[in-house]
Structure 1
Amino acid sequence: MSQIVTHLSEISDRYDALFVDLWGCIHNGLTPFSDAVAAMQAYRAKGGKVIFVTNAPRHRGSVTAQLDKIGVAEDSWDAIATSGDSARFAMFNGAVGSKIYFIGQPHDQTFFDPLDIVENPVTIEKVALEDAEGIVCCGPVDPMADPEVMRPEFLYAKQKGLKLLCANPDIVVDRGETREWCAGALAKLYTEMGGDSRYFGKPHPPIYDLARRRLAALGETIPDDRILCIGDGVLTDVRGAMGEDLDSLFISGGLAAAETKTTHQPDPDLLSGYLEKEMVSPTYTIGFLR
């Protein structure tokens, strides 16, 4: 059974670094969660390192700008690792070819910004589906539309044998009170149709490798048993931590608020049943990050 805690400070002394999810933990896409930001500031004030590890399908500069825009305090974090950067590294190394059919919104175009750390990067050209060698998916064109609207395009792409690079494995996200579809929902559909989807965010290893590199770049050598992963997604944050053999703190008041009846803290019996159903075992659980 996951240990239920009321404040991060109850367990934070056991860890030297935190890998912290953003959406649903630090902010809701519109405004920051003040208690969560304060908890990060307090942790850093004691010498801990905070790496924001996010399935945002954009590079860290774009995410930094978003945090500034919505008002997340700069002194609440040390570095950022994004699934977008992990996926961009793969794309510029030719993982899905050079002629790319792009699925996403206008603000996702920063995905194609140059990436200096790749030697001899592939020259990427965005083309129509019939001319494509591969697909890059940053998210639905319309995040409110059923992913099934992509079935005709995906059937054609599967028949052509195109690989789909998924820059955000999240299935859904809550923007304020509104639930939206993410790139992971499209990649899941493509896989179910027999297509080849490649994932680079949580729970898959590349983003954790990137997070560790971001941590090392701070001049810190921290063993895995001194790193705590924090997030509200059992299929991404918790399962990813389990796969990396890292401890985790599950935020039950995010995506699973209804299933766990979390208002301030989760109902213990409902929490236990939910975790058992999802076949995950976070080290700790808290209603909201504070």
Structure 2
Amino acid sequence: MSRKITDLDQLTEHADVLLCDVWGVIHNGVNPFLLSVEALKAARGRGQTVVLITNSPRPAAGVIQQFGTIGVDPECWDDIVTSGDVTRQLVMEAPREIYFLGPDRDTSLVEGLDLELVGPDAASAVLCTGLFDDETEQAADYRELLAGFREKNLPFICANPDRVVERGDRLVPCAGALADLYAEMGGETRIAGKPHAPIYREAMVRARALRGSVDKARTVAIGDGASTDIRGAADNGIVAVFIARGIHAKQYASGRTTDEARLKEFLDAEGLRPEYWMEWLA
């Protein structure tokens, strides 16, 4: 079983760089988690470098803007890498005629890129940042649209690999759920965010720019998503801290108590064994 820790400072001697998830770890889309924010500020005060690594489909500027809106202290991070940042490279390598599948708030992802946004019938590729209305829709509502893309063998670029994300006290579907459905249909998906390597490579580039040199063995990834944060850390050779009270909490928690036996069963079923776990980042 993974080792339980209660304070991030227990890892001070083991880590120079912290790659920390955002949604579900330092905020829920509505409110910041103040203990988590303070933990990261304290880590920076001890000389550790904090790079936030998020599957947000928007470039980092959009994440910073959201932080300002909901009140996340900018002193809790040194740099931010988003799935949107690394997905721009996939878009530049794709055909120019692209169907943009997602809410208008995410269109900053394609600003400044040489492409043409077209309707579904004229598209040579699909760029998905999420559902049009994640408050009322589910991935299954898009089956007919995706079937049309699959019939034409269009590549499906997924800018947010998360299947669900916390928004307040609810879970809402994300672009990853649509990518899963498209893949089930036999379609080609192209993904650069967690758990895939491009976002981790970029995060380490940013960390080296801040520190001069970085030993991956002294890097720790923190997150609440099993198939994204923890799988990504494992696949990229990075020590992981699983935050239990995130999107998977209903699988093993009763009230404010985590059943460690059920947690182990959950992680075993996912084929994962993170080195550490915490209830909350604190």
TM-score when normalising by structure 1: 0.94
Other-structure match for 2:98? 100
| Equivalent in the alignment of 1:91 | 91
1:272 aligns with 2:264: yes
Task: Find the counterpart in structure 1 of residue 54 from structure 2.
Answer: 54
Residue 165 in structure 1 maps to residue 163 in structure 2: no
> What TM-score do the two structures reach when normalised by structure 2?
0.97
Q: CA deviation at 1:266?
A: 2.4
- Contact 1:265–1:288 (8 Å) recurs in 2: no
1:182 and 2:174 matched: yes
For 1:133 and 1:62, locate their aligned partners in 2 and report how far apart those are by CA, in whole Å: 27
Ranges in structure 2 where 5+ consecutive residues have no aligned partner: none
Correspondence 1:1-290 to 2 at 5 A = 1-92=1-92, 94=93, 96-114=94-112, 123-143=114-134, 144-261=136-253, 263-264=255-256, 266-290=258-282
Q: How many pairs does the alignment contain?
A: 281
Query: What SS is found at the alignment partner of 2:210?
Result: coil
Task: Name the CA distance, whole Å, in 1 between partners of 2:12 and 2:211.
Answer: 20
Structure 1 residue 69, shift from structure 2 partner: 1.4
- Where structure 1 has 5 or more consecutive residues not aligned to the other structure, the ranges are 115-120
Alignment-mate amino acid for residue 123 of structure 2? A
1:113-135 CA-to-partner distances (Å, cap 9, x unmatched) read: 12xxxxxx6x2110011101100
Cα distance in structure 2, aligned partners of 1:198 and 1:48: 33
Contact 2:56 2:63 in 1 (8 A): yes
* Shift, 1:265, TM fit: 5.4
* Contact 1:98 1:133 (C-alpha < 8 Å) held by counterparts: yes
Is the 2:171–2:247 Cα contact (8 Å) retained in structure 1?
A: no
Q: Per-residue CA shift, 1:192-251, capped at 9, x if unaligned?
A: 011111111100001001111111221431111100000000100000000011100000
Deviation >3 Å, runs of 4+: 262-265
> How far apart, in 2, do the equivalents of 1:263 and 1:288 lie?
14
- SS, match of residue 19 in structure 2: strand
Amino acid at match of 1:132: A
Change in CA separation of 1:237 and 1:47 when aligned onto 2, cut-off 3 Å = same
**Range with greater deviation from structure 2 (8-17 or 166-175):** 8-17
User: How big is the shift at 1:262?
Assistant: 6.1
The answer to whether the Cα contact below 8 Å between 2:90 and 2:190 also exists between their aligned partners in 1 is: no
